[in-house]
Amino acid sequence: MIDLESVSVELDGRLVLDEVTVQLDQHRIAVIGANGSGKSTFARVLDGLVAPTRGTARVLGFDVAREAKRMRAEVGFVFTNPDAQILMPTVAEDVRLSLKGSGLDRSTIDARVASVLAAYGLAAHADAPAYSLSGGQKQLLALASVLVREPKLVIADEPTTLLDLGNARRIGTLLIEELPAQLVVVTHDLELAARCDIALRFHEGRLVELGDPAAVVERYQREFA
């Protein structure tokens, strides 16, 4: 459950999120809008990466400003650029990092890492340097590193922006159809947004529309017709 009450965010004296109030319990939530509309800030607020200047935000029952660390045990965040998200030198090590401090024993961690790498087609690259992967494989690795923790909520900030059509579709299908967790996906891919259960549209920091994704996407497209 995502519950924002009059959330505003000011960064460097500029209002980037303006009085956003919303309650969301849908399974697949799309967030669309132009560059600089506030959608990425909205995603970052949900993971406690940006604290609200005013208002309160609760995600899965946690106050994002005060309980961010505890909340992140149950929330995964996928960044646009996987190069920023991959923190360890090799593929398997990066996935394993996500389970560090989980309290699981070594054999369980090994099994879970092997299973998630196999599920995302990365088993053959387990010991390969992460930087040697293609863009699509890097994003799959970033996703694998998030999902190995079995989060209840996944927030993805433009996860397909840097990918070619094939990889974008693969990641999109994976997020929309195969992810067991609740999903918030910030995207410019309107086809992907239309496949969600609900869409939110941001404009100049304000949440201007919320509802059936096909209708929200259509009205957004009409603005540029």
Partner 1 sequence: MIALYLPGTSLLHRARAGVKLLGLVVLALLISLWPHTAITVAFTGALVVGLYALALFPPGMLLRQLWLAKWITVLMVATQLIFLTPWDAMVNTVRVVAIVLLAGLLTLTTRSEELLSALEAALRPLAFLGVDARRVGLTLSLTLAMLPVVADLARRVREAQQARGVRIGYRAVVPILVLALRHADDVADALSARGAD
Sole window of 25-33, 43-51, 179-187, 210-218 interacting with partner 1 (rule: CB under 8 A): 43-51
Dihedrals phi, psi of 199, to nearest 5 degrees: -125, 140
Q: At what angle do helices 135-147 and 106-119 cross, to 10 degrees?
A: 140
Nearest approach, Cβ of 152 to partner 1 (angstroms)? 14
Residue with tokens 């920091």, as numbered in its chain: 205
Exactly one of 5, 10, 93, 110 binds partner 1 (CB under 8 A); that residue is 93
Q: What's the burial of 65, exposed, middle or buried (CB within 10 Å: 0-12/13-18/19+)? A: middle
Sole window of 52-60, 88-96, 182-190, 214-222 interacting with partner 1 (rule: CB under 8 A): 88-96
Binding residues among 65-84 for partner 1 as defined by CB under 8 A: 68-69, 72-73, 76-77, 79, 81, 83-84
Residue with tokens 């919320």, as numbered in its chain: 210
Spatial separation of the C-alpha atoms in residues 50 and 10, rounded to whole Å: 10
Q: Does 178 bind partner 1 (CB under 8 A)?
A: no
Pair type for strands 2-11 and 14-24 = antiparallel
Exactly one of 97, 162, 194, 214 binds partner 1 (CB under 8 A); that residue is 97
Q: Which C-beta is closer to partner 1: that of 46 or that of 199?
A: 46
Sole window of 10-18, 95-103, 166-174, 201-209 interacting with partner 1 (rule: CB under 8 A): 95-103
Contacts of residue 200, Cβ cutoff 8 Å, sequence gap at least 6? 22, 29, 30, 31, 32, 39, 42, 207, 209, 210, 216
* Structural contact between residues 47 and 202, judged by C-beta atoms closer than 8 angstroms: no
Nearest approach, Cβ of 220 to partner 1 (angstroms)? 27
Exactly one of 58, 96, 170, 203 binds partner 1 (CB under 8 A); that residue is 96
Q: Does 14 bind partner 1 (CB under 8 A)?
A: no
Residue with tokens 């494989």, as numbered in its chain: 137
Q: Does 137 bind partner 1 (CB under 8 A)?
A: no
Site residues (CB under 8 A) for partner 1?
44, 47-49, 68-69, 72-73, 76-77, 79, 81, 83-90, 92-94, 96-98, 100-101, 127, 129-131, 145
